Amino acid sequence: MSGSGGRLNGAINTGIFVLRRLVHVLPTMFLILTVNFFLLQMAPGDAVDVLTGEAGGASPEIVEMLRKEFGLDQSTGMQFLRYVQNVATFNLGYSVGYNGHVAPIILERIPASLLLMFTAIVVALIVGVTFGVISAVWRGRWIDNVINVISIWGFALPLFWLALMLIVAFSLTLRWFPASGMYNVYQGHTGWAFVTDVAYHMVLPVISLSVYYLAIFSRITRSSMIEIFGQDYMRFAKAKGLHPARITLRHGLRNALLPIVTITGLQLGAMLGGSVVIETIFAWPGMGRLAFDAIFRRDLNLLLGILFVSSFLVIIANILTDMIYSALDPRITLK
Amino acid sequence: MTGWPAFRRRFLRNPAGVFGLVVIILMILTALGAGLLFPASPLSITGDPFIWPGQSPAHPLGTDILGRDILAGIVHGARVSLIVGLAATAIAVILGMTLGVCAGYFGGLTDVVIMRLVELFQTMPSLIFTIVVMVSLTPSIPAIVLAIGMTSWPQIARLVRAETLRLRNSEFLLTLKVLGLSDLRIIIRHLFPNVTSIVVVTASIIAAQAILLEAAISFLGLGNPNMISWGSMIGSGKEALRSAWYMAAIPGMAIFVAVLGLSLFGNGLNDALNPQGTHK
């Protein structure tokens, strides 16, 4: 078959895979909505009392609008149906605290969060995998012990505390990096100057967010590399007289990456949670910071929206993970 | 070599695991003795504010912004961390073992439904879920325990289910069935004991995660305001980061040591339970 035909087939297969996965997650999304609705019902008072009262009172028009939106005059079952119907049309309700619809408020904050998390994952991957490979190659030597200690410590450090200590050291004392914000508002940078300014603001939050994942990645790389070193094909590569570095990287690392891809997908939820505290500390204008503001204003509807959107992001990430997995290992086809 | 004496010998040979055990024992003693060591409420003001550690013998670890003793806070805070860590883990273990065994043993629709629930709680980011629970209920220790327990059980359920699936078609289990034992009896008397060892290792990791999660929730100001916790101490210390960083630093070290102890203890248990894995 011609190359373009194969590519087309591949694209169709991928498309079918994504569609099938999205259909498969529909029940999960439905369950998340059920949990959300249940939590809304658990809160003291009716939903509108919760949404308006705790947000510091709202005008009678808004109260009226909300009561209509939630259909509070109807039965619980009808309210639930209405809720599901609203969410299905991307209507996540109204935020009294922000005086606007929840969905656009959240969507506006997603890029900043994704930028932070993506950079943190990339940094954690590069450093963690390097650590893991070094550890596995020089197993039992001093460097392995040092890396093991780093990864065990990284696992136990509360990341919000690490963030504060980094601020004390590198921001307040040494004055190397800014402690808050995403860019310098007063200087109004554009183009490359803006990009470097954002990068400069990202240093401390990215380090704080990546340490935990760096620890996980380094540990997993180490153990899977050690397992792979004992495999027949590695002995074969050695017998062929290939250069040790080439064997380690081409034959070893490529296979060791598979479990890492799986873990990255599984850990994304934890990272979204971690970004709430990190964004709060560094005043990073993302979804996590929004969640903190919503806590402060007791804006339950906005929080439920954030829970829903972040769960959806985890699902998307897992689908992407599977696609990367099959790209790395040709034996696995997308099903 | 099998049995308890051999296991104990293997565990005690591992210094990191023993260190973890010592940390856990010290933490339990601290939590139990908090009332004796510092009878006054740790939230009461006992001296001048902003006393640095080592400056005054009356306050070895100094005082915070309001003049509350930091050592008293650390000692009493151990209670909250320990209660939350233990109780949330207990919920996770009970739910995870029961649902995991049921999913693996009965299979079919039971399995499908339980695995859907596992997927649900593994999809929702646990910290964000816990935040939403804390905001919709009143912030209290039981609420935080419930929320953390609910997000942690899937880890146990998955392991237990896999182990049960492995045992389900073993001769040992088929014999029990032929003997006419009821499902409940097989599960409680024969399946649970067989999955305990993998559960114990995961439980220590879950306890560590629970302590970190509780600290983050209290740091964000969602904990019980009438109880001091390490997370809330860091939260209030944050306000004085510029002039008195020790207020945030000290409780953070307490969290670090506690979580480190639990995870080293878990690693030690794992190595002692699977001796062949360590000499690979």
ipTM, 2 decimals?
0.87
A11-44 burial, b for 16+ CB within 10 Å, e for fewer?
A: eeeeeebbeebeeebeebbebbbebbbebbeebe
What's B56's DSSP letter?
B
Residue A230 lies in a domain: yes
Question: Which residues on chain B are in Cβ contact (under 8 Å) with A314?
Answer: 123-125
Percent of chain B with pLDDT over 90: 35
Residues from chain B contacting residue A295 (CB–CB below 8 Å): 131, 135, 220-222
Residue A334 lies in a domain: no
Q: Is 90 exceeded by the pLDDT of residue B135?
A: no
Residue A302, chain B, CB below 8 Å: the answer is: no
The C-alpha angle with vertex B73 and arms to B72 and B79, in degrees rounded to 5, equals 100
Per-residue pLDDT, B2: 60
Nearest to B128 among A158, A165, A306 (CB): A306
Residue that terminates a domain, selected from A73, A100, A127: A100
pLDDT band at B279 (very low <50, low <70, confident <90, very high): very low
**Portion of chain B with pLDDT greater than 70, in percent:** 98
A112 and A93, same domain (yes or no): no
Whether A72 has a pLDDT exceeding 50, the answer reads yes
Say how far apart CA A157 and CA A164 lie, in whole Å.
12
* Length of chain B (residues): 280
Position A9 in a domain? yes
Distances (CA, A) of A325 to A58, A128, A258, A267: 50, 19, 6, 15
Gap from B183 CA to chain A (nearest CA, Å): 29
The CA dihedral of B217, B16, A225, B118, to the nearest 10 degrees, is -40
Question: Is A20 inside a domain boundary?
Answer: yes
Interface-testing mutation among B84, B136, B276, B279, with chain A (most A C-beta atoms within 10 A) = B136
Q: Are residues A256 and A272 in the same domain?
A: yes
Sorted by where each starts, the structural domains of chain B and their CATH numbers stand as 77-271 (1.10.3720.10)
Question: At A83, is the pLDDT very low, low, confident or very high (cuts 50, 70, 90)?
Answer: confident
Interchain contact A266–B (C-beta under 8 A)? yes
Q: CA–CA separation, B142 vs A205, rounded Å? A: 32
Q: Render pLDDT for A241-294 as a digit per residue (tens, 0 to 9).
A: 777 777 777 777 777 788 888 888 778 888 888 888 999 999 889 898 898 888
Residue recorded with tokens 């740790």: B42
Q: Is residue A324 predicted with pLDDT exceeding 50?
A: yes
Helix (H) or strand (E) holding A322: helix A300-328
Mutate to test the interface with A, among B127, B146, B217 (most CBs of A within 10 A): B127
Size of interface A-B (CB pairs under 8 A): 140
Instruction: Say yes or no: A148 and A237 in one domain.
Output: yes
Residue with tokens 């991957």: A125
Residues B160-190 have pLDDT tens digits of 999 888 888 788 788 888 888 888 888 888 8
pLDDT of residue B98: 93
Nearest one of B245, B62, B228 to A161, comparing CA atoms: B245
Task: Give tens-digit pLDDT for B137-165.
Answer: 877 888 899 999 999 999 999 999 998 88
pLDDT at position A6:
64
Alpha carbon distance B117, B115 (integer Å): 5
Is A153 found in the same domain as A89? no
Cα radius of gyration (chain A): 24
A160 with A57, same domain? no
**Where does the pLDDT of residue A7 fall: very low under 50, low under 70, confident under 90, or very high at 90 and above?**
low
Output the CA angle A121-A122-A124, nearest 5 degrees: 65
Q: Range of A29's domain?
A: 2-100
Can you list the positions of beta strands (E) in B32-158? none
Same domain, A58 and A133: no
A283 touches chain B (CB under 8 A): no
Q: Is A137 on the interface with B (CB under 8 A)?
A: no
Q: 């004796």: which residue's tokens?
A: B36
A88 and A180 share a domain?
Answer: no
A172 occurs within a structural domain: yes
How many structural domains is chain A composed of? 2
* Contact (CB<8Å) A164/B234: yes
Residues A287 and A319 in one domain: yes
Interchain CB contact of A164 with B (< 8 Å): yes
Taking only the tens place, the pLDDT of each residue in A211-238 is 988 998 998 888 888 888 777 777 777 7
Residues A255, A306: one domain?
Answer: yes
Q: Which residues of B touch A216 (CB under 8 A)?
A: none
For the domain that residue A166 is a member of, what is the CATH number? 1.10.3720.10
Give the Å distances, CA to CA, from B227 to A48, A299, B43.
30, 24, 8
Which of A100, A118, A139 is at the close of a domain?
A: A100
Please report which confidence band the pLDDT of residue A332 belongs to, taking 50, 70 and 90 as the band edges. low
CA distances from A230 to A223, A226, A227, A244, B135 (A): 11, 7, 6, 14, 51
More confident residue, A298 or B20: B20
Q: Are residues A93 and A111 in the same domain?
A: no
CB contact under 8 A, B125 and A272: yes
On whether residue A53 sits in a domain, the answer given is: yes
**Number of neighbouring beta carbons within 10 Å of residue B178:** 9
pLDDT class for B34, splitting at 50, 70, 90? confident
For residue A164, the chain B residues in CB contact (below 8 A) are 234, 238, 241, 245, 248, 252
Residues A132 and A88 in one domain: no
Q: Which residues of A touch B252 (CB under 8 A)?
A: 158, 161, 164-165
Q: Are residues A71 and A215 in the same domain?
A: no
